[in-house]
């Protein structure tokens, strides 16, 4: 009798055992390793690396390349996320409008999702081709009056971060569009009808009905997007590798170069701890938001 009850109590852990084991071995342990590396001199490379306290942290914080990486990441994230929301909202509203037949809308929906389907290396290659000197971007630019076409898209220091942000905007907005579209379809038509009776249409109904109704969707995808964009590495790495002169180096690229190009695992781990803390703080907000939504 007692035995059966113990079994009953333990059985959920049995089902969870593979997950818990994997999470402990490949998430908890590695994170502890990264944190411990950040206090060591020559971690990984030398067997007998010494504890150096906060030395790595002091070095990292004083490194102008790190400060640059933080700044670039910040710009990249803010511009990307704002543009994602605007484009996603705009496209979702158009696809949800009653101007077109369902058939037309579903064709456009497929086209609009397209950029999201491709893997980062295809996106990088594709935009590299478009932005090549003498490529199609240069061709289109000559139709703009008053633009002095005397630069190369991916090596002109002042614009290249903007170019990368643009590419990131291009391939990231569909996620918003789909989530917002699902949210829009969940808003009851009655709300708009009663608002119309009160004389609120167009912009007014958008501000007073659509936005508040979508609030939780927008907040949670916005948070997720901030987390993902902070981590973004692939497209930047393949298009510029952080160059020219580190002008497009973001946090992930900075960490990658320190760890895997110059084998400074201690310093790389220190920078990684900063990225981890930022993402965990955001994740806590996200979890709270999800909890609130499910209550």
Partner 1 sequence: MVGSHKKLKKVIVSVLLIIGAIFAGFPVLWMLACSFKTTAKIFSWPPKLFDESFNFQSYVKVLTDPQKMRFFLNSYIVVGCVVVFTLIIGIFAAYAFSRFKFPGKGLLNSLIISVQAIPPIVLLIPYLSMIVAMKLFNTYYALILTYTITTLPYCILMMTGYFNSLSKELDEAVMIDGGSRMRALWQVLVPISIPGMVSVGMYTFMNAWNEYLFALVLTKTTEMRTVPIGINLLMGQHVWDWSQMMAMSVVGSVPVLVLFLFFQKYFIAGMSSGGVKG
Please give the residues from 16 up to 75 whose contact with partner 1 meets the rule CB under 8 A. 16, 18-20, 22-23, 26-27, 29-31, 33-34, 37, 44
Q: How many CA atoms lie within 13 A of 58 on its CB side?
A: 6
3-state per-residue secondary structure call for 38-98: CCECCCCCCCCCCECCCHHHHHHHHCHHHHHHHHHHHHHHHHHHHHHHHHHHHHHHHHHCC
Q: Of residues 241-280, which lie at the interface with partner 1 (CB under 8 A)?
A: 252, 255-256, 259-260, 265, 268-269, 272-273, 275-276, 279-280
Task: Supply the angle between the helices 64-96 and 102-117 in degrees, to the nearest 10.
Answer: 170
Q: Which is nearer to partner 1, 179 or 210 (CB)?
A: 179
Smallest separation, CB 251 to partner 1 (Å):
8
Smallest separation, CB 259 to partner 1 (Å):
5
Smallest separation, CB 287 to partner 1 (Å):
5
Q: Of residues 225-244, which lie at the interface with partner 1 (CB under 8 A)?
A: 227-228, 230-231, 233-234, 238
Smallest separation, CB 280 to partner 1 (Å):
7
Q: Which is nearer to partner 1, 182 or 211 (CB)?
A: 182
> Alpha helix locations (H) across the chain?
2-23, 29-37, 55-62, 64-96, 102-117, 120-131, 136-141, 160-185, 189-197, 202-205, 211-231, 234-239, 251-256, 265-294
Q: Which residues, other chains included, contact 95 with Cβ-Cβ below 8 Å and sequence gap of 6+?
A: 105, 108, 109, 112, 177, 181
| Dihedral angle of Cα 100, 104, 105, 110, to the nearest 10 degrees | -170
Q: Which is nearer to partner 1, 12 or 158 (CB)?
A: 12
Phi-psi region of 151 (alpha: psi -120 to 50; beta: other; left: phi over 0): beta
Site string for partner 1, 190-219 (x = CB under 8 A): ------------------------------
Q: Check residue 184 for interaction with partner 1 (CB under 8 A).
A: no
Place of tokens 């939780």: 216
Q: Give the C-alpha separation, 142 to 15, whole Å.
A: 63
Q: Which stretch binds partner 1 (CB under 8 A): 67-75, 156-164, 172-180, 240-248?
A: 172-180
Smallest separation, CB 203 to partner 1 (Å):
13
Q: Check residue 172 for interaction with partner 1 (CB under 8 A).
A: yes
Q: Of residues 72-131, which lie at the interface with partner 1 (CB under 8 A)?
A: 90-91, 94, 97, 99-100, 108, 110-122, 124-130
How many residues sit in the footprint of partner 1 (CB under 8 A)? 93
Q: Give the C-alpha separation, 42 to 59, whole Å.
A: 13
Smallest separation, CB 133 to partner 1 (Å):
9
Q: Which is nearer to partner 1, 68 or 88 (CB)?
A: 88
Q: Which stretch binds partner 1 (CB under 8 A): 68-76, 174-182, 207-215, 241-249?
A: 174-182
3-state secondary structure of 113: helix
Q: Enter the tokens of residue 223.
A: 């948070």
Q: Which is nearer to partner 1, 119 or 188 (CB)?
A: 119
């Amino acid at each position: 009798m007692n035995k059966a009850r113990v079994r009953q109590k333990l059985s959920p852990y049995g089902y969870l055992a593979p997950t818990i084991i994997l999470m402990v071995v490949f998430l908890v342990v590695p994170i502890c390793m990264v944190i411990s590396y950040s206090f060591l001199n020559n971690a990984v490379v030398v067997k007998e690396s010494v504890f150096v306290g906060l030395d790595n942290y002091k070095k990292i914080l004083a490194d102008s390349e790190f400060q640059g990486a933080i700044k670039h990441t910040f710009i990249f994230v803010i511009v990307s996320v704002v543009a994602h929301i605007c484009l996603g909202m705009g496209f979702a509203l158009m696809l949800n409008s009653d101007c077109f037949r369902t058939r037309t809308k579903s064709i456009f929906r497929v086209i609009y999702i397209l950029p999201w389907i491709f893997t980062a290396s295809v996106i990088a290659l594709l935009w590299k081709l478009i932005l090549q000197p003498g490529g199609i971007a240069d061709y289109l630019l000559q139709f703009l009056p008053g633009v002095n076409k005397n630069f190369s898209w991916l090596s002109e220091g002042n614009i290249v971060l903007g170019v990368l942000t643009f590419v990131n905007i291009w391939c990231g907005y569909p996620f918003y569009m789909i989530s917002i579209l699902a949210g829009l379809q969940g808003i009851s038509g009655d709300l708009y009808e009663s608002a119309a009776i009160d004389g609120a249409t167009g912009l007014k109904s958008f501000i007073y009905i659509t936005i508040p109704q979508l609030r939780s969707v927008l907040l949670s995808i916005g948070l997720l997007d901030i987390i993902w964009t902070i981590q973004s590495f692939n497209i930047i790495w393949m298009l510029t590798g952080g160059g020219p002169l580190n002008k497009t180096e973001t946090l992930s690229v900075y960490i990658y170069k320190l760890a895997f190009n110059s084998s400074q695992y201690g310093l790389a781990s220190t920078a990684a701890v900063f990225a981890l803390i930022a993402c965990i703080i955001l994740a806590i907000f996200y979890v709270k938001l999800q909890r609130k939504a499910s209550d």
